[in-house]
Amino acid sequence: MKTERDFSRVILTERGSRRRASRHPWVYDNEIASVEGDYQNGDIADVITSGGKYAGSGFINDRSKIRVRIISDNANETFDEAFWERRIGYALDYRDTVMGKDTGDTLCCRLIFGEADEFPGLTVDRFNDILVTQVLSLGTELRKDVIYRSLYKAMRERGADIKGIYERNDVNIRLLEGMEEYKGWYEGDGIPVPGSPVTSINENGIIYDVDVENGQKTGFFLDQKYNRKAISKIAKGKKVLDCFTHTGSFALNAAKGGASHVHAVDVSETAISMARNNAEKNGLTDIMSFEAADVFDLLPTISKGEYDFIILDPPAFTKSRKTKSNAERGYKEINYRAMKLLRRGGYLATCSCSHFMDEESFIRMLDSAARDAGVRIKQIEKRQQSPDHPILHSVPETDYLKFFILQIF
């Protein structure tokens, strides 16, 4: 792995040069005219425009369609440990500012959000005393020891009692970069290895157990933190149906917000069990009920007006442009059904977590569902992911979560 500035040179095509001018950090294989010099996959290479100008440096990997992942636009940068320490400092300072260092919200938040924080393919989530990482870039994988060491040091210096780093690299997208899948505790550089992969977090005043080994993604979905809080005031005094509840986070926020009753539904028996346990942990079981069912099958069986407030937080129906039209039909079906079930003045919270289901398409789908349901929709709030998942305007892929709170009339 090269550390001196004898990097190979990736020469872009004219099309690649135009795209690189937009500051998107990915260079695709079909945007490269030639490569000068020897390299190993995961090395750093300099990117040069078709006109011969320096356009950045990044991780090169000919196993991936994303041939280069830019990490710096500075031609004089030295990519040593101090470089990664600075990057980590920027990311942590940002979270302290936007999440509120003294509010407790940084105890459970995303510390590093990949390209949005200039760490290609790297996710780091904090769940109280455990950090969970996922690496989807070979270049980052080869440097994870120095990154983890610097991150652990920075967290300790900020007073965080971090008991370990758990790696959730059990995703098949790693195979596309030439890496293996695995999960387990990171061992090295004096970073401790705790015995249990389960910890507790406090989000919006609600306690959750988080299993970082077996939970979805890195163990818990942090991006809806403030959206969950937003629905709690709407839920007061209402009968609420929470669809795709997973571990019950929207349902619990509705119950804590003063709902008269909350019914939480998910197709997974395991998820329902976890949601029920979270309700017990927070003393909310008296006003909550739980059901393992397919939401698409359940909604047609519910009577109109049975619920005052319906929450739709489905998994991503599409992870590619090829399946977007099928996804739109799925989103429309559940939103149409929910709109039909609500009486005039009822409330609907609905969202999509797929980047490929862009906001314009999502709004168009909602309008179509409303027309077919014979209702009108009044927008109360339009929201996105919480700011610990920052949106980088030059990287559309970082803008993925659409969340709407609507009134039906």
- Average confidence (pLDDT) over 261-275: 96
User: Which residues are 164's β-sheet partners?
Assistant: 130
* pLDDT of 319: 66
Asked if the 8-72 domain carries CATH number 2.30.130.10, the reply is: yes
User: What is the rounded distance in angstroms from the CA atom of residue 26 to the CA atom of residue 16?
Assistant: 10
pLDDT mean across residues, the chain: 95
DSSP lists the bridge partners of residue 233 as: none
Reduced to 3 states (helix: H, G, I; strand: E, B; else coil), residue 339 is: helix
**Helices H / strands E in the chain, number of each:** 10, 20
| 370: helix, strand or coil | helix
Strand 288-292 vs strand 261-266: parallel, antiparallel, or unpaired?
parallel
Q: What is the average per-residue pLDDT within 149-159?
A: 97
* Whole-number percent of the chain with pLDDT over 70: 98
Kindly indicate the confidence band of residue 1, based on its pLDDT and cuts at 50, 70 and 90. low
C-alpha dihedral, 383 to 129 to 214 to 267, nearest 10°: -40
Q: What is the CATH number of domain 81-199?
A: 3.30.750.80
Count CA atoms within 13 Å of residue 346 on its CB side.
22
Q: What is the 3-state secondary structure (H, E, C) of 280-293?
A: HHCCCHHHEEEEEC
Catalytic, 243? Answer no
Region(s) of the chain under CATH 2.30.130.10: 8-72
Q: What is the pLDDT of residue 234?
A: 97
Instruction: Reply yes or no on whether the pLDDT at 2 is more than 70.
Output: no
Residue 13 DSSP label = P
Q: In the CATH hierarchy, which top-level class contains the domain 223-408?
A: alpha beta
Give ranges for CATH 3.30.750.80 in the chain.
Answer: 81-199
- C-beta separation of 300 from 306 below 8 A: no
Residue 337's pLDDT band, with cuts at 50, 70 and 90, is very high
Reduced to 3 states (helix: H, G, I; strand: E, B; else coil), residue 195 is coil
Average pLDDT score over residue span 279-297: 97
Residue 231 to residue 348: CA distance in whole angstroms: 10
Report angle CA 313, 319, 325 to the nearest 5 degrees. 85
Q: Where in the chain do CATH 3.40.50.150 domains reside?
A: 223-408
* pLDDT over 90, % of the chain: 91
Type of residue numbered 254 = A
CA within 13 Å, CB half, 335: 33
List the catalytic residue out of 108, 109, 351, 353: 353
Query: Which of 3-17, 309-323, 340-354, 394-408 is predicted with the least confidence, judged by mean pLDDT?
Result: 309-323
